Structure 1
Amino acid sequence: MTEGQVLDIIRDAIYTLLMTSLPLLLVSLIIGLIISIFQTVTSIQEQTLTFIPKIVGVFAALMFFGPWMLTVLQEYITDLWQNFSIYLG
């Protein structure tokens, strides 16, 4: 296995990781921003106010994006296993 092949595997793994985690992180970020603006406007300084909407939002995003995320991960693992004999020698 060459150094280039290792770097390609690592690059593809990081790209797949970022691509599959980005929808959930964006949903959490947007909900947090909306709650933060709401707290600023209404002067409510409750620290625990953001937890329930974020949990519900991330769960809903996982239900919506879950099949796509699973497909992307499955394609990555399938490509990795198909090229396994090339990596060995």
Structure 2
Amino acid sequence: MTPEIALQLFGEAFYLTVSMVVVIVGPSLMVGLVVSTFQAATQINEQTLSFLPRLLVTLATIMMTGPWLVQRLSDLFTSLMMKIPEIIG
């Protein structure tokens, strides 16, 4: 295995990981920002008020994007399996 192939494989896996994290965590961050703004405006300092909406949005995001995320992981795994002769030889 050459360093170029190793870096290419690492880059593909890293890009997939970052895109999966952004898809899952991004909506949660947006909801957290809205809830924090609401809490600052009303001066309500309740920790559970910010936790529950973020949890529900994260779970809903995973449910909606789950098939797409699994397909992307499956595609990466399949491409890695197909590249085994190139990596070895």
TM-score normalised over the length of structure 1 = 0.94
Report the counterpart of residue 84 of structure 1 in structure 2.
Answer: 84
Identity of aligned residues (%): 33
Contact 1:28 1:58 in 2 (8 A): yes
Report the counterpart of residue 63 of structure 1 in structure 2.
Answer: 63
Contact 1:20 1:72 in 2 (8 A): no
Please state whether the residue corresponding to 1:44 is helix, strand or coil. Answer: coil
Report the counterpart of residue 23 of structure 1 in structure 2.
Answer: 23
Q: Which runs of 5+ in 1 are unaligned?
A: none
| Aligned residue runs from structure 1 range 45-56, under 5 A | 45-56=45-56
Mean CA deviation greater in 12-21 or 2-11: 12-21
Structure-2 separation of matches of 1:41 and 1:61: 27
Structure 1 residue 86: deviation in Å? 1.1
Structure-2 separation of matches of 1:21 and 1:43: 31
Structure 1 residue 22: deviation in Å? 1.2
Structure-1 separation of matches of 2:20 and 2:47: 29
User: Which stretches of structure 1, 4 residues or more, deviate above 4 A after TM superposition?
Assistant: none
Q: Alpha-carbon deviations, 1:1-54, whole Å to 9, x = none? A: 000000000000000111122111111100110110010110001123211111
User: Which one-letter code corresponds to 2:11 in the other structure?
Assistant: R
What is the root-mean-square deviation of aligned Cα atoms in Å? 0.9
